Amino acid sequence: MPASQIPFLAKENGAKIIEVNTEPSKFTHQITDIFLQGKATEVMQQLMAGLGLEEK
């Protein structure tokens, strides 16, 4: 329970919330600024490739 409050506390203190998830969560429509839908490994690989930081 306490860990689930971290995103809310972060948002209250000015953080931008980026959610990577296969489906929308309870955070998506409440506090999420950017929602990236998909499996975290796939989304992160796409981000890395887009930034030119592919694994070698």
pLDDT in tens, 13-25: 999 999 999 999 9
Mean pLDDT of 28-39: 97
pLDDT tier for residue 8 given thresholds of 50, 70 and 90: very high
pTM of the model: 0.81
Residue boundaries of the structural domains of the chain: 2-50
For residues 46 and 56, the model is more confident at 46
Cα dihedral 11→16→22→23 (10° resolution): 50
pLDDT tier for residue 2 given thresholds of 50, 70 and 90: confident
**By 3-state DSSP, what share of the chain in percent is helix, strand and coil, each rounded to 5?**
40, 15, 45
Residue 1 confidence (pLDDT) above 80 = no
Task: Tell me the one-letter amino acid at 37.
Answer: Q
Token digits for 54? 């592919």
